[in-house]
Amino acid sequence: MSFSFVPLGVGDAFSARWYSSCLALEHEGRWILIDCPHPIRKMLRESVEGLDLDRIEGVALTHLHADHASGLEGYAYFSFFALRRKARLLAHPAVTARLWDGALAASMDHLGEPDTPGARSVGPDEYFDFVRVDEDAPAELGPFRLECRRTRHHIPTTAFRISAGGASLGYSADTAFDPSLIAWLAEADLVVHETNYGIHTPYESLAALPAELRAKMRLIHYPDGFDRDASVIEPLEQGRTYRVG
């Protein structure tokens, strides 16, 4: 048994070569996303023929940094106006706590021309169907089961383990090097781990991991200057389909 995923983007926040890191997961024709950067519809169109937001059943959000969450406004507006449904968002409460007031309200909390009939204020629950995922309460969406764990980053961020079809994928999200997190992720069949500078995970730390763990690890969120050919861990390729399990 297995499921598949396509990296819609593999780059970091400053990349001039790649879209921002984002995965599209598929099992039996049902799709979810991990993170939602802008321009999400263009990313989908360029990576998977015929795939658009109408077929995406939800977004599992790791954190609110723009290179992971800048497409949420477009996702919500397209769902609201074009699809006539709410945008489903699966996330830890600590991740969504400031989503509205800290990120989206300035551009989304009012519909209609001011002081005209029908103009009104709106809140996040009109746009989003929030699905809670926390350490003690995994979530299920269609064939997918999501578990999460907090990472070491600037703002509240969660890694995910996502299961479907008898297989499982670990996704580190943004994090400093954390052996305990890697051990948690390593329980999955395949691990996608970030590598970058600053409060991220140095490549050298991942390259020093045991060979059997490196063999089932793939890299994402790497900087433009990263030497993909010299890496002892396989970097993900944007737009390629991968099997899990």
206-217 residue pLDDT tens: 999 999 999 999
pTM of structure: 0.96
Mean pLDDT taken over the chain: 97
3-state secondary structure of 227: coil
Q: What is the pLDDT of residue 113?
A: 87
User: What does the DSSP assignment read for 130-183?
Assistant: EEE-BTTB-EEETTEEEEEEE-SSSS--EEEEEEETTEEEEE--S----HHHHH
Q: Is the pLDDT of residue 9 over 90?
A: yes
Domain boundaries, the chain: 3-244
Rounded Cα–Cα distance for residues 16 and 12 (Å)? 9
Q: Domain 3-244: which topology?
A: Metallo-beta-lactamase; Chain A (3.60.15)
Cα–Cα distances (Å) from 152 to 75, 85, 149, 158, 168, in that order, read 27, 34, 10, 9, 22
The values of phi and psi at residue 61, to 5°, are -100, 125
Report how far residue 118's alpha carbon sits from residue 111's, in angstroms, rounded to the nearest whole number: 8
61, 90 contact by CB (below 8 A): yes
- Contact call for residues 64 and 29 (beta carbons, < 8 A): no
Model confidence pLDDT, tens digit, residues 57-99: 999 999 999 999 999 999 999 999 999 999 999 999 999 999 9
| CA-derived radius of gyration, the chain | 18
pLDDT value for 213: 98
For 14, phi then psi, to 5°, come to -110, 10
**pLDDT digit string, tens, across residues 109-168:** 999 988 888 889 999 999 999 999 999 999 999 999 999 999 999 999 999 999 999 999
